[in-house]
Structure 1
Amino acid sequence: MADNIWTEEWSGGMLMKSAMMLGMLVDDPGSLSSGNSRLLMVFVGLVAFCMVVQAIVVVVFVVGAAKSQKRLQSIAEEFRVRAIPVFDSAEALFHDTAPKVRVIADNLVETSHIVRAKAVEFDATLSDANNRTRAQVARVDGMVSSTLNATASLGETIHEGIRVPVKHIAGAIAGLKAGLDVLLSRAKGFGGYRGPDL
């Protein structure tokens, strides 16, 4: 629209300049000769032709701009007709889902608090079970150590209890044997008894 006004102003300005030049030439009677007047007529004809062409171009531009404007208005109206229901349904969907999203967010926050509390409780339970297990392991270790010590002591006592009497018995048997040997060797000397050689 602004282009049309500028084009009209420009063409009007050109027309006025051409008319002023023509007026100046006509004002001075001695300055126009027949050759010059013919040139002036051709010049004025050319200017008039250019002005007509320019006017036609301006009219074509105005008609094209009007058609484009109508087309853009119809496209905008069609877009508005199709977009308004979409926007309305989107707004209704937003209003419908906003409370549900808020409830979901609140539930997530509450679930997060519950999970955190249960994690702390589980950690405390696990730490307590770990401490109890360590105490039980230490107690079992002490019991096993004392049992092993008692078993070792008992084994040593049994060993000593068996070894000492066996030693005494072996000593007694050795003494008896030595005694028998002595008796047998004396008996050999007395009567010629020959007993088994031990």
Structure 2
Amino acid sequence: MPINPTLFLIFTAVTSIGVLIQAGVLFGMFLAATRAAKKVEDITDQLNVHLIPAVATTKQLLEDVVPKLRTITEDVAAITAEVRHQTEHVNTAVDEVVDRTRVQAERVDEMVTSVLNSVVHASTTIQHGIGNPLRQISGILDGVRAGVSTLWRKETEDREAF
């Protein structure tokens, strides 16, 4: 079957127009990619201007700070060990003082108890030593008073009888 030349010409023209449109789209994509690359390059230049000095400063700061942090850490560890040692020493001293205080309190308690017992014993002894003779003297005096009273009454009755 023979191909119609007019149809062939239309087909060729449509294909050529499609290829031209495709070339235009590709050229547009090329221009957009070129502009994007330019923007990326500009951003990269700005980052280089600002970021590289900041990174360098940060690196230098870290190089300065790391030895100091190590020293501080070592000092804190040493201080912690010393505080722990001193705390143990203070705890030992406090325990010793508490033990001594307890012993002294027991001794004072024994002494006070002994003194109070002595006072009670002395009081009891004085009470018996003085109380018994006083009761006896009081009894004798009561007897003498009763006798004198009786005699006195008899003399009064005898005088009244005369």
- State TM-score, norm by structure 2: 0.90
2:71 to 79, 85, 103: 103
Question: Which secondary structure does the structure 2 equivalent of 1:39 belong to?
Answer: helix
Unaligned runs of 5+ residues in structure 2 are none
Measured in 2, the distance between the counterparts of 1:192 and 1:50 equals 181
Identify the residue that residue 106 of structure 2 maps to in structure 1.
138
- Structure with more contact order per residue of length (Cα contacts < 8 Å, sep ≥ 6): 1
Task: Summarize deviations over 1:44-65 as a string: whole Å, max 9, x none.
Answer: 2111111100011001101211
1:170 aligns with 2:138: yes
Identify the residue that residue 20 of structure 1 maps to in structure 2.
none
Q: CA deviation at 1:108?
A: 0.5
Measured in 1, the distance between the counterparts of 2:150 and 2:79 equals 102
Q: CA deviation at 1:186?
A: 4.0
Identify the residue that residue 31 of structure 1 maps to in structure 2.
2
1:116 to 62, 80, 84: 84
What amino acid does structure 2 have at the position aligned with 1:146?
Answer: S
Question: Which secondary structure does the structure 2 equivalent of 1:31 belong to?
Answer: coil
Identify the residue that residue 129 of structure 2 maps to in structure 1.
161
Task: Summarize deviations over 1:61-86 as a string: whole Å, max 9, x none.
Answer: 01211221122122112202211111
Q: CA deviation at 1:189?
A: 5.5
Identify the residue that residue 11 of structure 2 maps to in structure 1.
43
**Greater mean alpha carbon deviation, residues 181-190 or residues 45-54:** 181-190
Q: Count residues in correspondence.
A: 161
Larger Rg: 1
Identify the residue that residue 54 of structure 2 maps to in structure 1.
86
Q: CA deviation at 1:42?
A: 1.7
Identify the residue that residue 22 of structure 1 maps to in structure 2.
none
- 1:70-85 map, 5 Å: 70-85=38-53
Question: Which secondary structure does the structure 1 equivalent of 2:2 belong to?
Answer: coil
Q: CA deviation at 1:143?
A: 0.9
Measured in 2, the distance between the counterparts of 1:151 and 1:90 equals 86
What amino acid does structure 2 have at the position aligned with 1:31?
Answer: P
- 1:176-195 map, 5 Å: 176-188=144-156, 190-192=158-160
Measured in 2, the distance between the counterparts of 1:91 and 1:156 equals 95
Q: CA deviation at 1:141?
A: 0.7
Identity %, equivalent residues:
27
- State TM-score, norm by structure 1: 0.75
1:128 aligns with 2:96: yes
